[in-house]
Homo-oligomer: A and B are copies of this chain.
């Protein structure tokens, strides 16, 4: 099920583009934006960074663009002295879960689900379970 425009907008309000642009990335092809990664260096955890939201245009997928964005972000983290990256995804988003596993992220132990990948219950609010990923840069 595709999320609605308003729900997507709630995930990426403009503040991210105003205050965390220098730790975010854009991928272009033929002068058009085909992907982006919004990330930040944790204010409270000086060795950590966080990937908040990633998007790749449907017709640009399966070409390694997501991997390239993540690797570019890992390099940015290393330059900033951040050796750990965290991110979360919805347990329903099996494509995202598979992508993060392929990228070498470990899953923090959770309670929800009966497969090998379990989500943390109510992580982002009542009923909003999340698979929690962590990786060394």
Does A60 sit at the interface, judged by CB under 8 A? no
Minimal Cβ-Cβ distance residue in B for A12: B125
Are the CB atoms of B10 and A22 closer together than 8 Å?
Answer: no
Query: How far is the CB of A109 from the nearest CB of chain B, in Å?
Result: 16
Assign chain A's interface to a size class: 20 to 34
Rounded to whole angstroms, the CA-CA distance of A11 and B10 in the bound complex is 7
Are the CB atoms of B15 and A44 closer together than 8 Å?
Answer: no
Are the CB atoms of B44 and A20 closer together than 8 Å?
Answer: yes
Are the CB atoms of A50 and B15 closer together than 8 Å?
Answer: yes
Rounded to whole angstroms, the CA-CA distance of A49 and B73 in the bound complex is 24
Are the CB atoms of A40 and B14 closer together than 8 Å?
Answer: no
In the complex, which of the residues B9, B18, B44, B125 contacts A44, with contact meaning CB atoms closer than 8 Å? B18
- CB contact under 8 A between A19 and B5, given known A10-B11, A13-B124, A124-B14: no
Binding site for B on A (CB under 8 A): 5-15, 18-23, 40-45, 48, 50, 52, 88, 123-128, 130
